[in-house]
């Protein structure tokens, strides 16, 4: 009987944006545990990013931390260059960086809209563009995974900005998947429901209560559960999956 293939990422180089905490941290640790060399991107938490790097290295993996504001195209380009120079290539990109600025639209400030769209959606464009050319196109291999949200599929009161940014990521995922398939680059999205992370502290309790009421499994996800799904989409085993949105939401967005 043939032994089942293990989900190994040995030999791959991965960039995870917003990886110093929460879902990004869990993804970086998971990819590192499966053999990928991981670039831990952060904006303003060098100590936390360093802890992620140390944890990956303690498990025998390779990792570096790189500061970059990925809402800037120039800094996104520098991030991808740093990854390729440190580890000799770039194969996996996890677009995870994101913020929330919740509020009903009648009270929402223009900067709250702009900040969320720039951080959540424009960064996805910046990093994907910077990773695809020259790195992924040159090697004719790539895995791009965008961490979107159930809010981008269903909407959520008080989150017009966040929901728009996450819905935008889904449309971006499907369009880009069609553009880059000829270079053996897949583009997928993972759409978590509510996850037990620090970001929940800034979410209105009414929104949390609403999501839990409509979630068949009746609980929040653990960051590691999102990381497992992401690692699968980053693997060779997922090579025939592209343009898809994988829900990790306890059944809340069933259609």
Active site residues: 162
Omega into 134 within 30° of 0, i.e. cis?
Answer: yes
Number of structural domains (the chain) is 1
Read off the pLDDT band of 5 (50, 70, 90): low
Give domain status of residue 75, yes or no.
yes
Place of tokens 């900040």: 115
* SS3 call for 185: strand
pLDDT of residue 48: 97
How does pLDDT run across 180-237, given as a tens digit for each residue? 999 999 999 999 998 988 777 766 687 778 778 889 998 999 999 999 999 999 999 9
How many C-beta atoms lie closer than 10 Å to residue 244's C-beta?
15
Give domain status of residue 50, yes or no.
yes
Distances (CA, A) of 157 to 40, 152, 160, 205, 206: 32, 12, 7, 12, 9
Give domain status of residue 99, yes or no.
yes
**Which CATH number does the domain housing residue 183 bear?**
3.40.50.720
Give domain status of residue 7, yes or no.
no
For the entire predicted model, the pTM comes to: 0.94
The number of angstroms, rounded, from the C-alpha of 215 to the middle of its chain's C-alpha atoms is 22
Where in the sequence is the domain holding 231, given as residue range(s)? 13-244
Is the pLDDT score of 51 beyond 90? yes
Give domain status of residue 250, yes or no.
no
pLDDT of residue 101: 93
Give domain status of residue 135, yes or no.
yes
Give domain status of residue 6, yes or no.
no
């Amino acid at each position: 009987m043939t032994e089942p293939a293990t989900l190994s990422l040995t030999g791959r180089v991965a960039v995870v944006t917003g990886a110093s905490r929460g879902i990004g941290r869990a993804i970086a640790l998971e990819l590192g545990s499966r053999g990928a060399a991981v670039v831990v991107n952060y904006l303003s938490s060098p100590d936390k990013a360093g802890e992620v790097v140390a944890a990956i290295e303690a498990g025998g993996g390779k990792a570096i931390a790189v500061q970059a504001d990925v809402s800037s195209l120039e800094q996104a380009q520098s991030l991808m260059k740093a990854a390729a120079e440190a580890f000799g290539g770039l194969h996996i990109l996890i677009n995870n960086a994101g913020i929330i600025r919740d509020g009903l639209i009648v009270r929402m400030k223009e900067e709250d809209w702009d900040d969320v769209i720039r951080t959540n959606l424009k960064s996805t464009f910046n990093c994907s563009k910077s990773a695809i050319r020259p790195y992924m196109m040159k090697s004719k291999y790539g895995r791009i995974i965008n961490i979107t949200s159930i809010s981008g599929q269903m909407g959520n009161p008080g989150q017009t900005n966040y929901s728009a940014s996450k819905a935008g990521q889904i449309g971006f995922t499907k369009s880009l998947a069609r553009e880059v398939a000829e270079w053996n680059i897949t583009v997928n999205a993972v759409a978590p429901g509510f996850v037990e992370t620090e970001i929940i502290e800034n979410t209105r309790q009414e929104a949390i209560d609403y999501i839990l009421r409509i979630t068949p499994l009746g609980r929040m996800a653990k960051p590691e559960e999102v990381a497992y799904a992401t690692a699968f989409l980053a693997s060779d085993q997922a090579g025939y999956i592209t343009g898809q949105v994988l829900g990790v939401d306890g059944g809340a967005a069933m259609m």
